[in-house]
Amino acid sequence: MDKNRLLITGGSGLLGSNIARSAIREFDAYATYKDHESQIPGCHFLHMDILDRKEVFSTIKSIRPNLVIHTAGLVNVDYCEQHPSEAWEANVNGTVNVVEACREVDAKMIYISTNAVFDGARGMYCEEDRPHVLSVYAKTKLEGEIRVQRWLPESIVVRTAFYGWSLHNRNTLAEWVLKNLRHGKTIKMFTDAFFSPVLASNLAEALIEMYRQGLTGTYHVDGSERCSKYEFGRAIARIFKLDESNIEASSISESGLVAPRPRDISLDISKVSKAISTSLLGVEDGIAWFKSLENSLGERAKGKPIQSPMQAKGFIQYGRQWIDDEDIRAVVEVLRSEVITQGPKVEEFEKAIADYCETKYAVAVNSGTSALHIACLASGIKEGDEAITTPITFVASANCAAYCGAKPVFADINKQTYNISPNEMGKKITPQTRIVIPVHFAGQSCDMEIIHDIVRKAEEEYGHKIFILEDACHALGSLYKGERVGGCRFSDMVVMSFHPVKHVTSGEGGIVLTNDESLYKKLKLFRSHGITSDPDEFVNTALAFGSSGDESNPIVNPWYYEQLFLGHNYRITDIQCALGLSQLRKLDSFQRRRKEIVHRYNQAFQNIKHLQVPVESVNCESNLHLYVLRIDFTSLGIDRARFMLDLKDKGIQTQVHYIPVHLQPFYKNSYGTNWGDCPNAEHYYEECLSIPLYPAMTDLDIHRVITEIQTAVEGST
């Protein structure tokens, strides 16, 4: 199902950027900017001036969003007071443009208003209280509310006051306090100005849930505690361990501000708190989260992974990349160089992986799937041939054979390791078998020596070559019988992947390893259209060579190349390989952290009834790509989908690896596979659940995963 489309106006602002980061999980997110374009992975930024009616209508009609969150406007209170016509244009007329465009495409709107629509005479205002404005800014925001409610009655109006980390050096109140205190400066803050501020990332999550719940009308969405500006500043000082004495008490009357300021515009959030499950934090908890966001942003300088506010709060994915400043510098260096693709970094990366895996040759491509495909092409499999693989894998392990016209055949798995069973594989070999593709599931090597022996006996029996292609996309860094996976001791080729959830990433990318020079040459050709510029491989010599007068040393025509096979454009870039090289230097530390996490998980889960931890073969030292629990959901009376959704609601992502490939409609329709073909794999599928495992997990993350799963499982027994 397609995601709902979300458009955020003012997407480069403090609130807009936080909404974008939170929304990308469940929306196809778009954000507009006027002056400063931002870069938020997963969100599409585009220029839109809300005062340009034609541009507003064009943008909204082209995106056709389901939801528009309108944060754009003029928010400098004193500037609005001095320039009332500009304030009216931005906050009223600009809002009208967005509202009318929303009506055209039947989009719902969330309009971000302000707590300043009240005069501050008493504080803790509820939605039923009558607004009374003191400033031009407040008047224009209230007028915006009126337009939204009049023309979009199903909209949501949100009154709020928020703080957080801004993107473009526009210091918010909290940032201003922090900056000055860190420089030892004395600042004055009001003891007679009260509010109930909410952290922007906390507010963003609340807004998304409000839409999800189908709310309409006006809501106060603020923090759960009232405080003075002075108390707010001192709380920042305490939590950041700075000198509170540098904050001096002051009064609004002493400020010299241009626009009148209400004294108490704290909001009562009872209504929204009953409607959504998102907790709106108080001052201390909100600032503590604010500090964690700064720590996350500061990880760049410390060589630690960069986290979004969602991750800083604690949403734990099942797997993700670790990118630090070293990686970024490596990529930037290539971007600033003369060559960004088909250059020296590709060969450097290939050599680094080959050296690490102790193999002779490596051919890097743009994905693990492409690597599997060219490996099958190099083996020469074709229509009428058969390829044996496991059903517990991603579909690419079988698709690569189907791409070549061969028939994928599935052999059942070992009940303990979840890898292909060598005995079951042996039973599937026929005179048509030309390749076997064992998959090192979750990082644990298949029993390659036994597989090798079975295949060699079959070759003798049927009188032809049967290639062995190891799908080691999970297994960079794993050991089999003391040797690194990838060395091709028991196989013809090995394929690896560098997708972001793998041990190291190049963004997307893959590689084929081999010790066979003839295969290596074919792999290079199939990677790049089947084209060669090597004179030793040219066939049409009359076209290739000019008449130099020296028959023993003819001149190669400098423009000449030949296509020898029907290949593909599967080339990888120097940009990707630079990232891969930088990542490879951290592989050992990544593996150590994975082992620590797995040890914690094993200790926590091994004695829980109806739950089975992974088993590691005596012949293998796994790099621990995935941590898969077997949970007897039937005995526990738990629905797996509900179990996963409940964990997601608690901030923990899980996954199922994998739906058996032979049950996919394409394979059932094309090759007649069906339920019952691989009973071990099918039973495994009914019970498997991959839980979070990646090096950037903190000890607190690990504890949360363990606690929530223990509570869910033990609570059902």
Residue 322 lies in a domain: no
- The answer to whether the CB of 61 falls within 8 A of the CB of 101 is yes
pLDDT attached to residue 298: 46
If asked whether residues 565 and 616 sit together in one domain, one would say no
If asked whether residues 144 and 226 sit together in one domain, one would say yes
Q: Does 536 have pLDDT greater than 60?
A: yes
- For residue 259, what are its two tokens? 């626009």
Number of domains present in the structure of the chain: 3
pLDDT tens across 5-62, in order?
Answer: 999 999 989 999 999 988 887 899 999 998 877 778 889 999 999 999 999 999 999 9
Q: Does 230 have pLDDT greater than 90?
A: yes
Q: Does 511 have pLDDT greater than 80?
A: yes
Residue 72 lies in a domain: yes
If asked whether residues 142 and 118 sit together in one domain, one would say yes
Given the residues 345, 502, 522, 524, select the one marked as catalytic. 502
- Cα separation, 43 vs 46, in Å, equals 10
pLDDT attached to residue 172: 82
If asked whether residues 546 and 693 sit together in one domain, one would say no
- Top-confidence range, 179-183, 542-546, 552-556, 712-716: 179-183
How large is the average pLDDT for residues 605-633?
A: 94
If asked whether residues 274 and 334 sit together in one domain, one would say no
Which of 16-30, 387-401, 597-611 shows the lowest per-residue confidence on average (mean pLDDT)?
Answer: 16-30
Residue 552 lies in a domain: yes
If asked whether residues 492 and 640 sit together in one domain, one would say no
Residue 306 banded pLDDT, cuts 50, 70, 90? very low
End-of-domain residue from the set 313, 347, 381 = 313
If asked whether residues 426 and 517 sit together in one domain, one would say yes
Q: Does 412 have pLDDT greater than 70?
A: yes
List 28's β-bridge partners, or say none: 5
pLDDT attached to residue 1: 44
Residue 253 lies in a domain: yes
Residue 318 lies in a domain: no
291 vs 235 pLDDT, higher one: 235
> CA 94: distance to chain centroid?
34
Q: Strand 467-471 vs strand 433-437: parallel, antiparallel, or unpaired?
A: parallel
Catalytic (active site) residue 595: no
Residue 296 banded pLDDT, cuts 50, 70, 90? low
DSSP 436: E
Angle at which helices 699-714 and 587-605 cross, to 10°: 30
pLDDT attached to residue 644: 94
pLDDT attached to residue 39: 79
Q: Does 611 have pLDDT greater than 80?
A: yes
Backbone angles phi, psi at 211, to 5 degrees: -65, -45
If asked whether residues 660 and 609 sit together in one domain, one would say yes
- The answer to whether the CB of 236 falls within 8 A of the CB of 211 is no
End-of-domain residue from the set 288, 313, 338 = 313
- When the pLDDT of each residue in the chain is averaged and rounded to a whole number, the result is 92
Determine how many CB atoms are found less than 10 A away from the CB of residue 571.
Answer: 16
Peptide bond just before 658 cis, omega within 30 deg: yes
If asked whether residues 102 and 190 sit together in one domain, one would say yes
pLDDT tens across 122-178, in order?
Answer: 999 999 999 999 999 999 999 999 999 999 999 999 999 999 877 655 678 899 999
Residue 323 lies in a domain: no
319 vs 550 pLDDT, higher one: 319
The H or E element that residue 255 is part of is none
How large is the average pLDDT for residues 310-334?
A: 81
Q: Which three-class secondary structure state does DSSP give residue 229?
A: helix
> CA 303: distance to chain centroid?
19
pLDDT tens across 552-581, in order?
Answer: 778 899 999 999 999 999 999 999 999 999
Helices (H) and strands (E) in the chain, counts: 27, 28
- Cα separation, 415 vs 290, in Å, equals 47
- The answer to whether the CB of 200 falls within 8 A of the CB of 14 is yes
- The answer to whether the CB of 387 falls within 8 A of the CB of 377 is no
Could you list the residue range(s) of the whole structural domain that residue 296 is in? 4-313
Q: Does 295 have pLDDT greater than 70?
A: no
Tell me what percent of the residues of the chain surpass a pLDDT of 70: 95
Which of 7-21, 395-409, 640-654, 697-711 shows the lowest per-residue confidence on average (mean pLDDT)?
Answer: 697-711
If asked whether residues 592 and 569 sit together in one domain, one would say no
Residue 459 banded pLDDT, cuts 50, 70, 90? very high
pLDDT tens across 431-458, in order?
Answer: 999 999 999 999 999 999 999 999 999 9
Q: Is pTM beyond 0.85 here?
A: no
Q: Does 304 have pLDDT greater than 50?
A: no
* CATH number for the domain that contains residue 630: 3.90.1150.10
pLDDT attached to residue 169: 55
| Nearest partner of 219 among 190, 244, 241, 198, judged by Cα | 198
pLDDT tens across 272-287, in order?
Answer: 999 988 889 889 888 8
pLDDT attached to residue 668: 97
Residue 445 lies in a domain: yes
If asked whether residues 558 and 603 sit together in one domain, one would say no
Please, what is the Cα angle at 361 between 358 and 366, to 5 degrees?
Answer: 110
If asked whether residues 513 and 576 sit together in one domain, one would say yes
End-of-domain residue from the set 283, 313, 343 = 313
Residue 187 lies in a domain: yes
Peptide bond just before 125 cis, omega within 30 deg: no
pLDDT tens across 342-371, in order?
Answer: 999 999 999 999 999 999 999 999 999 999
* CATH number for the domain that contains residue 428: 3.40.640.10
pLDDT tens across 371-385, in order?
Answer: 999 999 999 999 999
